[in-house]
Amino acid sequence: MLFFLFYTSSGLVAGGKLFETVFGLDYPVAVVIGTLCVVSYTLFGGFLAVSWTDLVQGLLMSAALMIVPIAAMEGGFGDLAMALEAKNPELLTMFNNVKGEPMSLMAIVSLMAWGLGYFGQPHILARFKATRSNADIGTARRIAVGWTALSMAGAILVGLTGILYVDNQLVGGLEDSERIFMLLVNSMFHPVIAGILLAAILAAIMSTADSQLLVSSSALAEDFYKQVFRPQASSDEIVKVGRAAVIILSFIALMLAMNPESTVLGLVSYAWAGFGAAFGPALLLSLFWKGMNRNGALAGIIVGAMTVVIWKQLTGGIFDLYELVPGFFLAGLSIIVVSKATGGASDAVEAQFETYQRNLVTFK
């Protein structure tokens, strides 16, 4: 729940910046409006509504991330590269930062470690539950990889073209570089087109925040309320508790987002590390190592989460390393050590593991 709150809060911060920039609203008012947009259909739609809206929002996001940089690159990739080199030859050097300065080994490892976080995101993993059959896994994988590649490439190009499109080398007249997409859209497009493209930001916010609220509220209702307090609770009662959880979690995330100094990247990086370190090693080892048991998995989840929380509070030297790195490593080590110390997996679990391994060939 802790990391979900920070992750959801990052989306509300982004929504606040969007409405503040586009409509000139005060930041607190803008954040409240963004929160209401997310909560409204998550509250009444449930998983099906979230899935369909995520599809539409994903298409809108990918389209916007391709249209905006292409429009900004009037001379194509060659002219973009030449312009960046003329501005600062070091900008296109691998392992240099946005200022063109060489990155330290610790910074490089920290950036690469972001990839480890994907394995432990509950709101992403929940989508696998909606798969109709094993036969759909291959198609879903190709769609996911293709969409991600296009979106990531577009986002990178937005940043590169943004460097050239503004006056200042780093943020070009903006105190907040996270608003660069909005600046490009407002500068290049007719207001009607700009409105559609700016809606892509809201789509990105809503498609992530609604999934997080849905998964976290379901966990509170099903795994906590029903299991601990009301085992005999009816389906209608669970739905009501889940909706109440959405409202409560949204309110707490709203309070976290009210700080105008908050950055989307800062909040996301903390939540990303927490989820990745807590759940990533447990998920991977459950798929590729038949020796993991319940005690090992719980130990990994606890150690991974606690490492991220503690590491984040420390600074200087090795503690400047992204907290996901030590969290992921120590969680994986804890799973192996505790599983072996407590007898390993049962024969039934090992047999089930081997059955799944044989069936993996059908997912190609």
Helices (H), 177-293: 180-188, 191-218, 235-257, 264-288
The alpha carbon of 91 is separated from its chain's Cα centroid by a whole number of angstroms, namely 26
CB neighbourhood size of 172 (10 A):
15
Band the pLDDT of 172: cuts 50, 70, 90: very low
Tell me which of 30-34, 156-160, 358-362 is least confident: 358-362
Q: What percent of the chain has pLDDT over 70?
A: 93
Asked if residue 298 and residue 174 are part of one domain, the reply reads: no
Q: Which of 209, 229, 262 is the last residue of a domain?
A: 262
Q: Which long-range contacts (CB under 8 A, 24 or more apart) does 77-82 make?
A: 80/160, 80/161, 80/164
Q: Please count the structural domains in the chain.
A: 2
CA distances from residue 38 to 60, 151, 165, 212, 331 in whole angstroms, order as listed = 17, 22, 32, 11, 33
Q: Which of 215, 233, 262 is the last residue of a domain?
A: 262
Helices (H), 289-346: 294-312, 324-341
Asked if residue 270 and residue 252 are part of one domain, the reply reads: no
Asked if residue 210 and residue 193 are part of one domain, the reply reads: yes
CB neighbourhood size of 74 (10 A):
9
Band the pLDDT of 168: cuts 50, 70, 90: very low
Tell me which of 13-17, 122-126, 183-187, 289-293 is least confident: 122-126
Residue tagged 């990052």 (tokens): 10
Tell me which of 36-45, 272-281, 336-345 is least confident: 36-45
Rounded CA-CA distance 1/256 in Å is: 14
Whether the predicted model's global pTM rises above the 0.75 cut: yes
Asked if residue 293 and residue 212 are part of one domain, the reply reads: no
Q: What CATH number is associated with residue 134?
A: 1.20.1730.10
Query: Collapsing DSSP states into helix, strand and coil, what is residue 211?
Result: helix
Tell me the average pLDDT across 110-123.
Answer: 88
Asked if residue 238 and residue 122 are part of one domain, the reply reads: yes
Band the pLDDT of 160: cuts 50, 70, 90: confident
The predicted pLDDT at position 363 comes to 54
CB neighbourhood size of 354 (10 A):
11
Rounded CA-CA distance 233/29 in Å is: 38
Tell me which of 19-23, 285-289, 295-299 is least confident: 19-23
| Opening angle at CA 339, ends 330 and 303, nearest 5 | 30
Rounded CA-CA distance 14/126 in Å is: 24
- Please choose, from the candidates 11, 3, 25, 43, the residue with its C-alpha nearest in 3D space to the C-alpha of residue 257: 11
Asked if residue 287 and residue 217 are part of one domain, the reply reads: no
Asked if residue 180 and residue 109 are part of one domain, the reply reads: yes
Phi, psi of 96 (to 5 degrees): -105, 150
Asked if residue 281 and residue 361 are part of one domain, the reply reads: yes
CA-CA-CA-CA torsion for 43, 47, 51, 57, nearest 10 degrees?
Answer: 20
Asked if residue 328 and residue 186 are part of one domain, the reply reads: no
Asked if residue 232 and residue 276 are part of one domain, the reply reads: no
Rounded CA-CA distance 324/115 in Å is: 10
Residues sharing a CB contact under 8 Å with residue 55, sequence separation 6 or more, in sequence order = none
Asked if residue 303 and residue 335 are part of one domain, the reply reads: yes
Rounded CA-CA distance 147/152 in Å is: 8
Band the pLDDT of 170: cuts 50, 70, 90: very low
Asked if residue 333 and residue 187 are part of one domain, the reply reads: no
Band the pLDDT of 311: cuts 50, 70, 90: very high
Q: Which of 201, 231, 262 is the last residue of a domain?
A: 262
Structure tokens at 60: 């809108």
Rounded CA-CA distance 334/279 in Å is: 12
* Helix H or strand E encompassing 1: none
Q: Pick left, alpha or beta for residue 230 (phi over 0 → left; psi -120 to 50 → alpha; otherwise beta).
A: beta
Tell me the average pLDDT across 36-56.
Answer: 73
pLDDT at 328 > cutoff 90: yes
The predicted pLDDT at position 169 comes to 45
Q: The domain containing residue 163 runs over which residues?
A: 2-262
Phi, psi of 248 (to 5 degrees): -65, -45
